Amino acid sequence: MENTVTITIASGKGGTGKTLVATSLALSLPEGVQFLDCDVEAPNSHIFLNPQWEMEVPTGLVVPRVDESVCTACGECNRVCEFKAIVVIVDKVLVFDELCHGCGACTYICPVDAITEIEKPIGVIRKGSARNGIHFLQGLLNIGEPMATPIIRRLKKEASPVAKITLRDAPPGTSCPVIESVEGSDYTILVTEPTPFGLNDLKLSVGVCRELNVPLGVIINRADVGDAGIHAYCREEGLPILMEIPLIREVAEGYANGVPLIDVLPQYRDRFQELFDKILKEVRHG
Amino acid sequence: MAEAKTSPRQLTIISGKGGTGKTTLTAAFAQLTENKVMADCDVDAADLHLILEPTIKKSVPFYGGRNPVVDLDACTKCGVCTEVCRFGAIHDGVVDLFACDHCALCAHACPEQVIKMEDAHSGDWFVSETRFGPMVHARLGIAEENSGKLVTMVRKEAMEVAKKGSRSWIIIDGPPGVGCPVTASLAGVDKVLVITEPTLSGIHDMERVLSLATHFNIPAQVCINKFDIHLANTRQIEAYCLEKGIELVGKIPFHRGVIEAMVNGKTVIETDVPEVAPAIHQIWERVMGE
């Protein structure tokens, strides 16, 4: 899109400051930012942006149900299921909902059309508005449900495609939920900390962004603790360091209470605006 | 120990929120516990090896799922695969592996039968020796899927190693969140230790992960890391645990020595971080003691 930009804030290691950065960036930009909390397993951005919830959309996964009066127990569904979610034992078909990916292969293959699909709820999408005109969207995975990715996929679908600026707060790690969160964004900010754990996981995240072909920059949080490994790595790899945030007691206290960084240190508003302008320039002109 | 003859017991350390100190605590437990096997189940951002410095004895490739491979010369571009795929992952015979769910529906539906499913090497798992005993760990390939399946592999192998060596404990470093790799790290373990921090985010995610433990009917205990950075929130956690009847097994103070230990590849017990090492020792006694 010409006039829209989507920036994802991610990190391999958890607890490095993704939400700290994402929420203050959203508050530093012009009104009307669309904010997606894609950490559907452990979402925290709402604690800082305190949205007024306006809507809740249940999100489900389609799973098969077998009509036993039609089923011939031929075993075709069992054969095609890659996830062992539908199993035929003697003349009975068993469905394991928690293993099902909702791909529809069993429904497609069933020769006697004995399979229909129902939507099983696995989480919700919540929408609301927060200060600075932020359109806030959050996905929340139900406790006990294993699959986060369908909720993130749905969250992205629920988002407005014409919003000028969209920020996505990603989950930690490097596997499917992270890929779903980063995929389709114009730029990714990787937040890290200058420790061996931070460095190890930053390298993995850089790998993800490169695989997905998404340009990236690095923010170093708690920049004055730990060692110099992150700087050396970024230099070697030619990765831009967009910002360094020192360990400041007031910021940590604010964080503990759900107070955004820029409310504690208002001078960071300008720094976040500059950072955004720089990213926008890179996204638009390469 | 007497239990060694029976099945080894399993402890999983989790947090919900990332970065609360899971791996630091697990590494300390690795040193304190005798006769155990370590399992790093945070397979997509594994860090325990940075402290335990394993020497890999055995490395096994992990095939998580299968990828569709299209014979483009034979493909007639009829569009059936595109039509049936629910993940928008295949167009004109070209597969977008990041969108692909590896369900094989395209292969089953292709009227020309030109799509084959091939095993995808999506990571590796390892059995290693460390200065604190054996460790089973893994590396999920960059941007790969099936982390839950890989966690299950790591745990299965850790159980083998534990049984073979008549070891009494398996200590599992869990991943953040509450989703698939976390449920795989929790299934069937004897107890869960939740490490949280006194921030509203930490509390929010601790509550979610405790609900998950309850969901699976696994007894959980809680400890608070960096408890002194926010005493009011620490009191809130204490009150929560009291109300829910969850045992609070200890509180660890903030100390810069924890990061120094990590930078030097040591456990906080090895470097004897003041106040932190004794606090963790106490937690360990309460968790493993009975």
Q: Which of B183, B208, B229 sits opposite A42 (nearest CB)?
A: B208
What's the pLDDT at A2? Answer: 67
How many secondary structure helices (H) and strands (E) does chain B include?
Answer: 10, 11
- Per residue in A174-196, pLDDT tens? 989 999 999 999 999 999 999 99
pLDDT of residue B289: 85
Q: Is pLDDT of B1 > 50? A: no
Between the CA of residue A253 and those of A47, A164, B44, B202, what are the distances in Å?
A: 14, 33, 30, 13
How far CA A76 is from CA of A72, A82, B86, in Å, comes to 10, 12, 20
Stretch (H or E) spanning B207: helix B200-215
What's chain A's average pLDDT? Answer: 96
* Chain A residue whose CA is closest to B119: A82
Q: What is the pLDDT of residue A286?
A: 73
The whole-angstrom separation of Cα B70 and Cα B68 is 6
pLDDT of residue B3: 44
Mean pLDDT across the stretch A231-240? 98
Residues in A closer than 8 angstroms to B148, CB to CB, are 146
Q: Which residues in B lie closer than 8 A to residue A258 (C-beta atoms)?
A: 200-201
Describe the strand order of the beta sheet including B169-173 as a list of residue ranges: B55-70, B115-130, B133-140, B36-40, B169-173, B9-14, B191-196, B220-225, B247-252
Residue B59 lies in a domain: no
Asked if residue B280 is part of any domain, the answer here is yes
- Give me the CATH code for the A68-113 domain, please: 3.30.70.20
Residue B187's CATH number = 3.40.50.300
Interface test with B, best of A143, A183, A261 (most B CBs within 10 A): A143
Residue ranges making up the domain that contains B228: 2-53+131-288
Cα–Cα distances in angstroms (integers) from residue A136 to residues A24, A26, A261, B251, in the given order: 14, 10, 18, 35
Q: Is the dihedral of CA A59, A62, A63, A69 positive or negative?
A: positive
- By C-alpha distance, which of B122, B125, B73 is closest to B102? B122
Based on the fold, state whether residues B189 and B242 are members of the same structural domain. yes
- pLDDT tens per residue across span B102-116: 999 999 999 999 999
* Pure H helices in chain A: 18-28, 45-49, 76-80, 105-109, 149-158, 176-182, 196-212, 229-237, 249-257, 261-264, 268-285
pLDDT for B144:
83
pLDDT at B5: 56
Q: Measured between alpha carbons, how far is A243 from B57 in angstroms, rounded to an integer?
A: 41
Q: What is the C-alpha to C-alpha distance for residues B214 and B204, in angstroms, rounded to an integer? A: 16
Average pLDDT, stretch A274-282? 97
b (16+ CB within 10 A) / e for B115-129: bebeebebbbbbbbe
Q: Which residues of A100-121 are buried (b: 16+ CB within 10 A; e: fewer)?
A: bbbbbbbbbbbeeebbeeeebe
Contact between chains at B148 and A183 (C-beta distance less than 8 A): no
- Calculate how close chain B gets to A278, using CA atoms only, in Å: 27
What are B73-111's pLDDT values in tens digits?
999 999 999 999 999 999 999 999 999 999 999 999 999
Count of alpha carbons within 13 Å of A193, Cβ hemisphere only? 21
CB B213 within 8 A of CB B220: yes
Same domain, B207 and B250: yes
Element of type H or E holding B243: helix B231-244
Nearest chain A alpha carbon to B196 = A15
Do B25 and B168 lie in one domain? The reply is yes
For residues B107 and B164, state if they share a domain.
no
Show Cβ contacts of residue A213 under 8 Å, excluding neighbours closer than 6 positions: none
* B54 CA: distance to closest CA in chain A (Å): 15
Structural domain count, chain B: 2
Tens digit of each residue's pLDDT (9 = 90 or more) over A56-112: 999 999 999 999 999 999 999 999 999 999 999 998 999 999 899 999 999 999 999
What mean pLDDT is reported for chain B? 95
B121, B143, B158 - which closes a domain: B121
Over pLDDT 90: what percentage of chain A? 97
Residue B126 lies in a domain: no
Residue B58 lies in a domain: no
pLDDT digits (tens, 9 = 90+) for A26-51: 999 999 999 999 999 999 999 999 99
On the CB side of B39, how many CA atoms lie within 13 Å of its CA?
Answer: 30
Are A63 and A97 in contact, with CB atoms under 8 Å apart? yes
Question: What pLDDT score was predicted for residue B2?
Answer: 43
Nearest-by-CA chain B residue for A20: B201
Are residues A175 and B201, on separate chains, in Cβ contact within 8 Å?
no
User: Do B45 and B85 fall into the same domain?
Assistant: no
> B263 and A195: CB-CB below 8 Å?
yes
Q: Does the pLDDT at position A4 exceed 60?
A: yes
Tell whether B240 is covered by a domain: yes
Q: Does one domain contain both B103 and B28?
A: no
Per-residue pLDDT, B266: 98
Q: What is the helix (H) or strand (E) element at residue A240, kind and residue range? A: none
Q: Which tokens go with A47?
A: 């604690």
Instruction: Determine the residue of chain B that is closest to A11 in CA distance.
Output: B45
Q: Tell me, yes or no, whether B261 lies in a domain.
A: yes
Is A275 within 8 Å of A242 (Cβ atoms)?
yes
Other Cβ atoms within 10 Å of A66 Cβ, number: 21
**Which of A104, A109, A173 is closest, CB to CB, to B175?**
A173
Residue A226 pLDDT greater than 60, yes or no = yes
Q: Which of A36, A7, A16 is nearest to A244 (CA)?
A: A16
pLDDT digits (tens, 9 = 90+) for B178-229: 999 999 999 999 999 999 999 999 999 999 999 999 999 999 999 999 999 9
Selecting from A41, A174, A227 the residue whose C-beta is nearest the C-beta of B142 gives A174
Q: What's residue B146's pLDDT?
A: 78
Coil, strand or helix at B188 = coil
Domain borders along chain A are 5-59+125-285, 68-113
For every residue of B75-108, DSSP letters joined together read: -----HHHHH-TT--EETTEE-TTT-----HHHH
Predicted local distance difference test score (pLDDT) of residue A1: 52
Predicted pLDDT of residue B290: 63
Please indicate, yes or no, whether residues B98 and B141 belong to a single structural domain of this protein: no
- Backbone phi, then psi, for A159, in 5-degree steps? -70, 150
Asked if residue A149 has pLDDT above 50, the reply is: yes
β-pair partners for A52:
A129
Residue B87 to residue A103, Cβ atoms within 8 A: yes
- Give yes or no: residues B212 and B76 share one domain: no
Min distance B280 CA to chain A CA atoms (Å): 20
Residues B164, B197 share a domain = yes
Of A204, A227, A253, the CB nearest to B45: A204
- Tell the CATH topology of A5-59+125-285: Rossmann fold (3.40.50)
Count CA within 13 A, CB hemisphere, residue B243. Answer: 7
Predicted confidence band of residue A209 (pLDDT cuts 50, 70, 90)? very high
Nearest 10 degrees: Cα torsion A211, A212, A218, A222: -80
Cβ-nearest to B143 among A42, A196, A211: A211
All residues of chain A having their beta carbon less than 8 Å from the beta carbon of residue B212 are 143-144
Question: Torsion angle of alpha carbons B75, B76, B79, B85, nearest 10°?
Answer: -20
Alpha-carbon distance of A137 to A268, in angstroms, equals 24
Identify from B101, B205, B208 which residue to disrupt to test chain A contact, counting A C-beta atoms within 10 A and taking the largest count: B101
- Distance between CA atoms of residues A157 and B138, nearest Å: 33
DSSP per-residue string spanning A28-50: HSPS--EEEE---SS--HHHHH-
Query: pLDDT grade, residue A285 (50/70/90)?
Result: confident
Report the alpha-carbon distance of residue A44 to residue B104 in Å, rounded: 36
**Amino acid present at B147:** S
Chain B residue numbers with beta carbons less than 8 Å from the beta carbon of A76 are none
A208 to B84: CB separation less than 8 angstroms, yes or no: no
Tell if the CB–CB gap between B176 and A14 is shorter than 8 Å.
yes
